[in-house]
Amino acid sequence: MSSTNSSDKSGIRLEHLRKEYGDTIALEDLNLVAHPGEILGIAGPNGAGKSTMVKILASETNQTSGTITLNGAPWDPREHKKQVAIVHQEPQLFANLTVAENILVGIEKSKYVRPKSSQVDQNLLDEVGLAEYAHRRLGSLPLAIQQRTEIAHALARSADVFLFDEPNSALTEEESGELFEWMHKLANEGKIVFLVSHRLTELATHCDRIVVIIDGKAKVEIKKNELTEERISRELMTGVASKRASLAQAGKNTKDLLQVSDWKHVDEAFKPIELSVMQGEILAVIGVEGSGGREIVRSLAGFAETTGDISMQDAKGSAVTKQVAFVSGDRSSSLFTNFSVGENLYVRLENRIKTKLRTLSKSSARAIAESAKSEFLVRAASIDTPIRSLSGGNQQKVAIASALALKPQMVALEEPTRGVDISSKAEIYKLVREYVLQGNAAVFYCTEVSEVFDSADRAAVIFDGKIKKILDVTKFNDAESLAEAISQATAS
């Protein structure tokens, strides 16, 4: 597919782009055009090739075949790196540098001299809300601050092409609004702006056009006058099986599995709370970034320092957290990125993959990995495929499969479908539902009401470090009424 005006040579043109990773074809015959002065939205299901396209344009990999032109002339991103700025879904910065130093990486005058934080534009720091963090080491800061730093890093560059790959997945609604203002400003300045997102409302609201990528090809272009959330959803769901996770209560047990009392974060990210999680349920913890919701979920798995009482059946204290698996919101923290798919699936199962002589049983390990790959619907050529070559959605399935393979009594997940397309979201929550119906439980942190409505049994509404209300999600007829109840709870 090409642009509506094939005679217009301005902008970036991808023609017959193909990318192979061994036996995996990430892009098959991709054709599209992005014009200066517009925000081009890129939508598509999990594994469609969206991230691969971004990596090629960002010179992080190169195409197997096909051509790229810029303003009508042949263009190789690897030779013009400074023309492209990118904001990744997962921040890719330097944890040992300060926020200000990270912003300067790649635009410093000499590659042999450490960037000076004093060179950072103070106005930029103020506008992206990073002034108070400028001289703090990035690795010590929350994911949301890291993502804002990568946004600032992109904005600080005098680039012609800006690639935003799920850029606001860790941002608050207010921060997201500011980000989109920047995108529109860049487009108005004549820059080429790509927005890759699974958030259909944002695509419909902020993009001038949208190209839907399916199976490595540009399937359809949706122009501004046809651009609605419903139209995008319809195109995405064409030929994709809708596997919505069931919320049927059959077999649900009302017995408490985990309880916390006077449970408090030592740095007061959340205040003393009382909370119980029942067998057979999915409990959503919903709140904006900074509400304390993320820290509550992490604390249940022992990943936040707390005081108070925690119990699970006969276990208490630290013995409880050993029975809770954790999946981080940052996939790089849950996966071994230098391992294959199979190695990530069995790496935690030391006792199940060793022989009597305590050596690795390759046959047992491969059998476990093959079974998990099939059960968790991981789309990869084989278990020997490098985990880094998978789409974000498939990497997330591997991360969750690896955690559940430990057979914990409960799993705690941070934004389990962050950056995942609508069909894969349903698959993931279906798998989690099957897990909890075996007498287990799941708790996840989320900021999106629609996901809570689609997947959870109950929702703990968090605001200012407190549980404002616990809602029975199954009693709501639609996401809108649930959203209203959540809004009322935070206002009370």
Q: What is the pLDDT of residues 100-111, one digit of tens each?
A: 888 888 765 544
Phi, psi of 38 (to 5 degrees): -130, 160
Q: What are phi and psi of 130, to 5 degrees?
A: -115, 5
* Beta strand 73-74 pairing with 410-414: unpaired
Mean pLDDT of the chain: 85
pLDDT on residue 302 = 93
Distance between alpha carbon 260 and the CA centroid of its chain, in Å?
28
Which residues, in sequence order, are bridge partners of residue 258?
A: 277, 312
- Arithmetic mean of pLDDT, 182-197: 92
Which one is predicted more confidently, 380 or 195? 195
Tokens of 324: 């809770």
Q: Is 218 helix (H, G, I), strand (E, B) or coil?
A: strand
Report pLDDT digits (tens) over 343-386: 888 877 766 666 655 666 788 888 888 888 888 888 888 899 99
Strand 65-70 and strand 73-74: pairing? antiparallel
User: Helix, strand, or coil here: 209?
Assistant: strand
Whole-model pTM: value is 0.55
Q: In the predicted model, is pLDDT for residue 112 greater than 80?
A: no
Work out the pLDDT band at 250, boundaries 50, 70, 90: very low
CA-nearest of 197, 192, 191, 230 to 211 is 197
Phi, psi of 71 (to 5 degrees): 55, 40
Per-residue pLDDT reduced to its tens digit, 398-444: 999 999 888 899 999 999 888 776 667 778 888 898 899 888 999 99
- Answer for the pair 84, 77: CB distance below 8 angstroms, yes or no: yes
Residue 440 has a pLDDT of 93
The predicted structure's pLDDT at residue 210: 96
Return the C-alpha torsion angle 77, 81, 83, 88, nearest 10.
90
The mean per-residue pLDDT over the stretch 111-137 comes to 73
Band (pLDDT 50/70/90 cuts) for residue 247 is very low
pLDDT at 240 over 70: no
Least Cα distance to 416 among 381, 389, 451 occurs for: 451
Q: What are phi and psi of 248, to 5 degrees?
A: -60, 140
What would the mean pLDDT of 158-167 be, rounded to a whole number? Answer: 88
Give the chain's domains with CATH numbers: 12-237 (3.40.50.300), 242-323+408-492 (3.40.50.300), 334-406 (no CATH)
Contact predicate 274/448, CB 8 Å: no
Closest among 166, 182, 171 to 127, alpha carbons compared: 182
Helix, strand, coil percent content, the chain, rounded in steps of 5: 35, 25, 40
